[in-house]
Amino acid sequence: MQVNRGQVPEEYFRYLGWKTMIIGLIFVALGLVVVLSLGLGAAKVPVADVVAVLVGKSPDPRVDAIVRGIRLPQALTAVVAGGGLAVAGTVMQAILRNPLGSPFTLGISHAAAFGAAFAVMLGTGFTSSGQGAVTILGPFVTTAAAFVTSLVASAVIIFIARLRGSTPETMILAGVALGALFTAATMFLQFFASDVQLAAMVFWTFGDTGRASWTQLGITGTVTLVCFFYFWTNSWSYNAIAAGDETARGLGVRVERVRMTGMFLASLITAVIIAFLGIIGFVGLVIPHMFRRLIGADHRFLLPASLGGGALLLLLADTVARLMLTPHLVPVSVLTAFLGAPTFLWMIIRGQRA
């Protein structure tokens, strides 16, 4: 069989162009949704006024306060958090070679919930106001506790993996066991908590993009981008690991090192996001599956597609949650769970029929 050498580069560039076009469309759609979301809410703002605020030519100080002071940080937080969780889930599924790998299923989210509940029990996080509402007294203490326990859970998973060999099965089973342990510990604290403390613990578990300040957004964005570029530069390693550990070693990949480093950095992204925003489930589980079906398993393209897709999904969910019961705000984690679970089940059923 004779192969025309000229056809190989042409097909390859067509392959690159198709995937690059999809990624470009995702980010264009993300930009449009950001602008639209800034105008939607209890107080509607025309798109022209939104653009004027963004370019520094606001026609009305009240519009500037609504768009720049309230909605812009919330929208950017949704973008960063959605992209970060999706990238973390993509990497976890790659290094574990398991479609169930995600920050939520590995127990990292449960560890953060325990840390926040523990801080509340110590009396450092919340108190009640005169109207019986729950008010945050020391948000940084609660955030720090959630962050530390998330990293502790990740460190335990990595330690067990190093002790027993860094196989995907070991890391997944360790994560599931830790998730159950931290859930039980949180329930134990809730049993002995007062009414106000219990309300505070439940309130914290509701993931909400409106919590983050500009400083917290900057921290989250920096961590997410730095880790993303590290993951993207190691795309070939993740592609090799997907073919099996022995194949990857034969190609010169240091499998244990790549797996441990990837697990740590993915956990770091998750810990930072959850510590600031609370628990947001299913983004890191569903998005990698969706774009793996759309764009393929090549992590050179899957990682940026997941970054943009996760950001787009969480921003859309946050916008819908803001409009559902106006003027009341529904936590975005409620909507992601309602949408994510049926979507994931549908993908499982469709995959089995294919």
Q: pLDDT digits over 116-166, tens only? A: 888 888 875 554 544 555 555 556 777 788 888 988 888 888 788 777 666
51 pLDDT more than 90: no
Question: CB-based contacts of 298: which residues, under 8 Å, 6+ apart?
Answer: 19, 235, 239
Mean pLDDT of the chain: 84
Exposure letters 69-88 (e unless 16+ CB within 10 A, then b):
eebbbbbbbbbbbbbbbbbb
Asked if residue 20 is part of any domain, the answer here is yes
Q: What is the pLDDT of residue 137?
A: 54
Asked if residue 188 is part of any domain, the answer here is yes
Helix axes 235-242, 299-324, angle to 10 degrees: 100
Contact assessment for residue 234 and residue 164, using Cβ atoms and an 8 Å cutoff: no
Number of residues assigned to the chain: 354
- Give the domain range for residue 21: 10-350
Contact assessment for residue 91 and residue 238, using Cβ atoms and an 8 Å cutoff: yes
314 pLDDT more than 90: yes
Asked if residue 5 is part of any domain, the answer here is no
Asked if residue 240 is part of any domain, the answer here is yes
Asked if residue 154 is part of any domain, the answer here is yes
Largest CA distance in the chain: 83
Asked if residue 120 is part of any domain, the answer here is yes
Higher pLDDT pick, 233 / 108? 233
Residue 90: give its domain's CATH number: 1.10.3470.10
Indicate the number of domains in the chain.
Answer: 1
Place of tokens 């690159």: 16
Q: What is the pLDDT of residue 2?
A: 47
Asked if residue 266 is part of any domain, the answer here is yes
Lowest mean pLDDT among 7-11, 84-88, 255-259: 7-11
Q: How far is CA 130 from CA 123, 133, 165, 179, 197, in A?
A: 18, 7, 55, 36, 15
Asked if residue 69 is part of any domain, the answer here is yes
6 pLDDT more than 60: no
Q: What is the pLDDT of residue 62?
A: 85
pTM for the whole structure? 0.87
Highest mean pLDDT: which range of 50-59, 209-218, 321-330: 209-218
